[in-house]
């Protein structure tokens, strides 16, 4: 059995499940495994230190799967930004057909990708941003609820409200993201108006995720309370797993007069990468969402996707259908 939606048709995938781009995690091992399992795997462009490294990673992924996969390009405001145009060129020249964009002022990037016939998924945290991206010409919206790992925006709207609110106005296909990790979440997302799901934290706790087993077990052992919100003071809220580093970031940020410079050494990407690769839980930030409370095991991507779809179908066919009562004559 399979779930058919506009997402599966547009992306050429079997299951309406997308692996979001994740810094240091979105590598060929994971992306190819998700794609081989029938979903859409995504490489994270800026995980690669240069556009040429990205070209090589795309080819490595292509050698590991003959199924569709995409590349994430996240645009961040910076005084010394990476060479985005060169990363775009690497993606286009490599023949990638699907790109996930996120972040700051993506119009230039969306236009360039669309000129080359690339399908663009854009991540948003608010209905107004989703509508703006739709006008911009993107093909799919990934709408991120407040539960998500990463940057949930500043509106604090959870998925149970945000997904149907977006579905009421967005006309292009939509992925639900944030707080989804099993068949129940998939079925709920479809019921709320999405046509598929985008998951990050759940894919970190899989066999193929290229991170240390200690981090995977940390995610499994955490519950839904095991996150911290950081950068709130600086209007750039991020949700991360609760550990010694994120606790310290929260503590320092709460001090009167504290500035970003006071926490900057703790939140560096290099420290986060060290945590993921060494397995030292307290070496740096570990980005993870509230869905940790629903993650109980570390399956292969194939096992995870098959189980999610099977459970979602069972919920729709048996549990929900069984609640419909015939009218009494």
pLDDT in tens, 92-101: 999 999 999 9
For 211, counting Cβ atoms within 10 Å of its Cβ (0-12 exposed, 13-18 middle, 19+ buried), the class is buried
**Positions of the chain with pLDDT under 70:** 1
pLDDT of residue 1: 63
What separation in angstroms does the CA of 151 have from each of 18, 27, 66, 90, 288? 18, 20, 32, 26, 11
Q: Which residue has the tokens 């015939």?
A: 326
Q: Which of 238, 282, 241, 233 is nearest to 262 (CA)?
A: 233
Question: Do 263 and 114 belong together in one domain?
Answer: no
Residue 93: inside a domain: yes
261, 195: one domain: no
User: For residues 262 and 234, is the Cβ–Cβ distance under 8 A?
Assistant: no
Please say whether the beta carbons of 140 and 18 come within 8 A: no
Domain co-membership, 143 together with 59: yes
Domain-embedded: residue 287 = no
Cβ atoms 138, 121 nearer than 8 A: yes
Cα of first residue to Cα of last residue in the chain, in angstroms, is 35
Number of residues that this document lists for the chain: 329
Does 179 share its domain with 77?
yes
Considering the domain architecture, whether residues 312 and 184 belong to the same structural domain is answered as: yes
* Beta carbons of 40 and 70 less than 8 angstroms apart: yes
Q: Are residues 54 and 134 in the same domain?
A: yes
Looking at the structure, do residues 126 and 87 belong to the same domain, yes or no? Answer: yes
Q: Which position has the token pair 């052992």?
A: 221
The number of domains in the chain is: 2
- CA-wise closest residue to 112 among 148, 87, 134: 87
Say yes or no: 122 and 234 in one domain. no
- pLDDT of the residue at 121: 98
Give the pLDDT confidence of 24-66 residue by residue, as tens digits.
999 999 999 999 999 999 999 999 999 999 999 999 999 999 9
Residues 179 and 46 in one domain: yes
User: Are residues 153 and 94 both part of a single domain?
Assistant: yes
Structural domain boundaries, residue 238: 213-278
Position 184 in a domain: yes
Predicted model pTM: 0.96
Same domain, 155 and 185: yes
Domain-embedded: residue 328: no
> Has residue 1 been placed in a domain?
no
Are 210 and 30 contacting, i.e. CB atoms less than 8 angstroms apart?
yes
CA-CA-CA-CA torsion sign (247, 252, 254, 259): negative
- 284 in any annotated domain: no
Q: Residue 214 CB: number of other CB atoms within 10 A? A: 14
Specify the 3-state DSSP secondary structure of 134. Answer: helix
Instruction: Give CA separation, 260 vs 234, 265, 269, in Å.
Output: 7, 10, 15
| Residue 293 is assigned to a structural domain of this protein | no
24 in the same domain as 47: yes
């Amino acid at each position: 059995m399979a779930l058919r939606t506009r997402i599966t048709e547009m992306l050429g995938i079997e299951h309406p499940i997308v692996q979001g781009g994740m810094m240091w995690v979105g590598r060929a091992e994971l992306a190819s495994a998700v794609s081989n399992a029938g979903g859409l795997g995504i490489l994270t462009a800026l995980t690669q230190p240069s556009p040429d490294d990205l070209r090589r990673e795309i080819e490595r992924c292509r050698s590991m799967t003959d199924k569709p996969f995409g590349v994430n390009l996240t645009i961040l405001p910076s005084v010394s930004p990476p060479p985005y145009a060169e990363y775009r060129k690497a993606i286009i020249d490599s023949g990638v057909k699907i790109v996930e964009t996120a972040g700051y002022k993506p119009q230039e990037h969306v236009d360039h990708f669309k000129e080359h016939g690339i399908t663009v998924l854009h991540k948003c945290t608010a209905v107004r941003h989703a509508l703006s991206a739709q006008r911009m010409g993107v093909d799919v919206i990934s709408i991120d609820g407040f539960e998500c790992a990463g940057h949930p925006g500043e509106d604090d709207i959870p998925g149970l409200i945000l997904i149907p609110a977006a579905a009421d106005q967005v006309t292009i296909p939509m992925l639900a993201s944030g707080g989804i990790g099993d068949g129940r979440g998939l079925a709920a997302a479809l019921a709320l108006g999405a046509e598929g799901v985008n998951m990050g934290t759940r894919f970190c706790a899989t066999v193929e995720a290229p991170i240390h087993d200690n981090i995977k077990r940390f995610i499994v052992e955490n519950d839904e309370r095991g996150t911290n919100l950081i950068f709130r003071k600086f209007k750039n809220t991020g949700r991360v797993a609760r550990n010694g580093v994120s606790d310290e970031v929260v503590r320092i940020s709460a001090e009167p007069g504290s500035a970003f410079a006071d926490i900057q050494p703790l939140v560096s990407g290099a420290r986060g990468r060290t945590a993921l690769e060494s397995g030292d839980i307290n070496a740096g930030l570990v980005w993870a969402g509230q869905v940790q409370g629903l993650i109980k095991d570390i399956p292969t991507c194939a096992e995870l996707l098959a189980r999610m779809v099977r459970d979602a179908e069972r919920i729709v066919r048996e549990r929900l259908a069984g609640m419909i009562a015939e009218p009494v004559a």
